[in-house]
Amino acid sequence: MLKTFRGGIHPPYNKDFTKHKPVERAKLPDRVIIPMSQHVGAPCEPIVKVGDLVKKGQKIGEAKAFVSAPIHASISGKVTAVEPKPHPGGGMVMSVVIESDGKDELFEGIKTPKPLAELTPDEIKNLIRESGIVGMGGAGFPTQVKLSPPPGKTIDTIIVNGAECEPYLTADHRLMVERPDDVVLGLEAIMKATGVKNGYIAIEENKPDAIEAIRKAIQAKDGIELVELATKYPQGGEKQLINAVTGREVPSGGLPMDVHVIVDNAGTCAAIANAIKTGMPLVERITTVTGTGVNEPKNLLIRVGTPFSEIIEQCGGFKGEVGKVIMGGPMMGLAQSVLDVPAVKGTSGILVLAKNDVNLSEQSPCIRCARCVDACPIHLLPTTLGKFAERGMWTEAEEYHALDCIECGCCAYVCAAHIPLTQLIRLAKNHIVASKKK
């Protein structure tokens, strides 16, 4: 029986654009813009200056806080700027700009580590930290931090998130089809680093080829199981995935570690495997470039820091009049106002929608149909929270657990009155968090 969670929705998945397209290595970019903040936590401090020559894999941003992750050059060349640049997550972020020398030379400090069997748990965690590995599903939480729970917190289960429930995106799907052994090796490394004996790889049923590839890859592996999930959004949300796989409920205000679980993305596992096999830090990733507004949708292996404009150009450019460009999927992605922003470690996709596919519906009064309540995977009252936000009632919004909202967009998607509930709840969350910092 397929496992799932209560609530959620079934939007059009539109994965046919790219789900059968093998991953292609993108052309070496002429220039990369590498932000010093590509993760949750403290930004890195640049350790290079204008005029420096750098090589691929060389550290260019130092992480000086526990919750942070170092940044590395994704190409070889010359540093031409160290200054704030537009970030796909919004705002201006200190960035290092590197003009390629066309050589793509590897930094001499990159050494192949010992095999996993010879690495100690602390050596694995240090390798993950020094490789700058973060959650690659979009959240960008530093992986080494996730693998280091505070005293008193015990972990007994690791779940690899292979759901990729966001419509349009197929980067993780193709990764699991083409590199299943890397996903499994990354999971084994996490299990060894944390001393956990139970590992699960959870995949939605709409990826049968990925399920089959992973099934073969774990045939001789002790303690690792494949879990087939129902196709439903947001099946890949951490709390929903934990509930579907283990039956456990992460408490309000809690984290997965509160129910003894760590969740890592399939792409994150593959990045860990790559670091173990080659010593290479995280400087490239698979990105799905898709949608009705791009000429040739693809799954591309791109260098971190490549401008969106260059990536889209490698997919034949825009097709007709463009309505919207989004980093990520249509449900949780971020709309972009300029194309000179770089792909970062969490850029799982670039979605280009044709103008005719972008519908701006007029908002009307709530009809109290409760569709948003049925759809909310966290079991919140979105319409009530929305009204609190409209009236500036931040205390009441907090009492109704606004901070538990994962901003999946289900409530806004099903709202018959086209009320931007997700945006209103996000506004409430921002006010609540800001008030706590005073």
Q: What is the structure's pLDDT at 211?
A: 98
End-to-end CA distance of the chain: 49
Q: Which residues are annotated as a binding site for [4Fe-4S] cluster?
A: 366, 369, 372, 376, 405, 408, 411, 415
- For residue 236, which of 192, 212, 270, 206 has the smallest C-alpha distance? 206
CA distance 235 to 263: 13
Cβ–Cβ < 8 Å for 225, 200: yes
Cβ–Cβ < 8 Å for 164, 171: yes
Residue 156, number of CB atoms within 10 A of its CB:
14
Q: What is the structure's pLDDT at 139?
A: 76
Reading the chain (438 residues) residue by residue, the pLDDT tens digits are: 899 999 999 999 999 999 999 999 999 999 999 999 999 899 999 999 999 999 999 999 999 999 999 999 999 999 999 999 999 999 999 999 999 999 999 999 999 999 999 999 999 999 999 999 999 987 789 999 999 999 989 999 999 999 999 999 999 999 999 999 999 999 999 999 999 999 999 999 999 999 999 999 999 899 999 999 999 999 999 999 999 999 999 999 999 999 999 999 999 999 999 999 999 999 999 999 999 999 999 999 999 999 999 999 999 999 999 999 999 999 999 999 999 999 999 999 999 999 999 888 899 999 999 999 999 999 999 999 999 999 999 999 999 999 999 999 999 999 999 999 999 999 999 999 999 877
The two tokens of residue 419 are: 């009320």
Cβ–Cβ < 8 Å for 161, 137: yes
Domain with CATH 3.40.50.11540 in the chain: 116-278
Which residues, other chains included, contact 399 with Cβ-Cβ below 8 Å and sequence gap of 6+? none
Q: Which residues are annotated as a binding site?
A: 366, 369, 372, 376, 405, 408, 411, 415
3-state secondary structure the chain: CCECCCCCECCCCCCCCCCCCCEEECCCCCEEEEECCCCCCCCCEECCCCCCEECECCEEEECCCCCCCCEECCCCEEEEEEEEEECCCCCEEEEEEEEECCCCCECCCCCCCCCHHHCCHHHHHHHHHHCCCECCCCCCCEHHHHCCCCCCCCCCEEEEEECCCCCCCCHHHHHHHHCHHHHHHHHHHHHHHHCCCEEEEEEECCCHHHHHHHHHHCCCCCCEEEEEECCCECCCCHHHHHHHHHCCCCCCCCCHHHHCEEEEEHHHHHHHHHHHHHCCCCCEEEEEEECCCECCCEEEEEECCCEHHHHHHCCCCECCCEEEEEECCCCCCEECCCCCCECCCCCCEEEEEEHHHCCCCCCCCCCCCCHHHHHCCCCCCHHHHHHHHHCCCHHHHHHCCHHHCCCCCHHHHHCCCCCCHHHHHHHHHHHHHHHHHC
Side-chain-side CA neighbours of residue 187 (13 Å)? 30
CATH class assigned to 116-278: alpha beta
